[in-house]
Amino acid sequence: MPTASFFKQLIPPRKRYLLRQAAWFIRSMRYPGNSVYCPCCNRHFGRFIRWDPSDPKDDNYVCPNCSSQSRHRLLWHFLNARTRLFTDHFTVLHFAPEPFFWKKFRRQRNLTYIPVDLLSNLSEAKLDIQHLPFVNCTFDVVICNHVLEHVPDDRGALAELYRVMSPGGWAVVLVPMDYSRETTYEDQFITTPAERLRHFGQEDHVRICGRDYPLRMESAGFAVETVHYTAELPEKVRQRYKLMQDEDIFICRKS
């Protein structure tokens, strides 16, 4: 039996999470300073970790303490500054919950928080976004951060999100966008990890989202607002949080 599989069976999921947290904390001690700030774990550092040091164009940075990436810090800033998620009462459906968001959201007394995923041990239920068991109009808010690029039937998934969302509700959706592409690139016959890495840039991606991708959200019934949030922030804030330049946020509303 491979070592990783052995330890997964030996150590319960929540304890594995605590061990990862301890490892992250030890790693963070190598980056003392006050030049950058991670709102996801409320820590300052001398610098973040470059996601791909070999790529001079890569502008994705990882927090050495909680492992949040640039898109997570962008989303956290947006939710705090532009929404009432932390003040009003909402029923929230969160797909593929990141550990730092899961930790914060589940402590919010104003939220009825339902984290779900096919794989994550932090989820309350192992659910497929393409086939949700919830009744119509259940949730006020849906959080779907870099999930749809993994989903074979993303149109069906978007239709499911629309179905389970209450009228007046909203979803915050992020997907990796390639703005050099006018249309989304996908091929259902590309199925192996090696082929997907070559065609889509990651072994578990099934498409590259082009500039037409918001139309898919609209076709599910949503009114879609594209928020160029990074561009709206002062340069000082962008550098302090180390935010990516081309990461947009899509707000999908159900009337």
Domains of the chain, residue spans: 70-253
List, in order, residues 6 or more apart from 6 with CB less than 8 Å away: none
pLDDT at 120: 73
Placement of tokens 């690139």 in the chain: 185
> Cβ of 215: how many Cβ atoms within 10 Å?
12
pLDDT at 181: 97
Q: Of 21-25, 34-38, 115-119, 189-193, where does mean pLDDT reach its minimum?
A: 21-25
Give the predicted TM-score (pTM) of the model. 0.87
| Distance, CA of 176 to CA of 150 (rounded, Å) | 11
pLDDT at 6: 47
Q: Just give the CATH number of 70-253.
A: 3.40.50.150
pLDDT at 246: 84
Kindly state the average pLDDT of the residues 219-240. 96
> What confidence tier does 21 reach under pLDDT thresholds 50, 70, 90?
low
Q: Of 49-58, 181-190, 238-247, where does mean pLDDT reach its minimum?
A: 49-58
> What confidence tier does 14 reach under pLDDT thresholds 50, 70, 90?
low
Write the pLDDT tens digit of every residue in 182-219.
999 999 999 999 999 999 999 999 999 999 999 999 99
- Per the CB < 8 A criterion, the answer to whether 116 and 95 are in contact is yes
Q: What are phi and psi of 15, to 5 degrees?
A: -70, -35
pLDDT at 9: 56
pLDDT at 3: 47
Return the higher-pLDDT residue of 145 and 23: 145
Write the pLDDT tens digit of every residue in 84-140.
999 999 999 999 999 899 999 999 999 999 999 987 777 778 899 999 999 999 999
Residue 234 has pLDDT above 50, yes or no: yes
Question: Measured between alpha carbons, how far is residue 141 from residues 37, 118, 159, 241 in Å?
Answer: 27, 20, 15, 25
- Per the CB < 8 A criterion, the answer to whether 133 and 154 are in contact is no
- Per the CB < 8 A criterion, the answer to whether 67 and 45 are in contact is no
Of the candidates 90, 188, 98, the residue with the CA atom closest to the CA atom of residue 146: 98
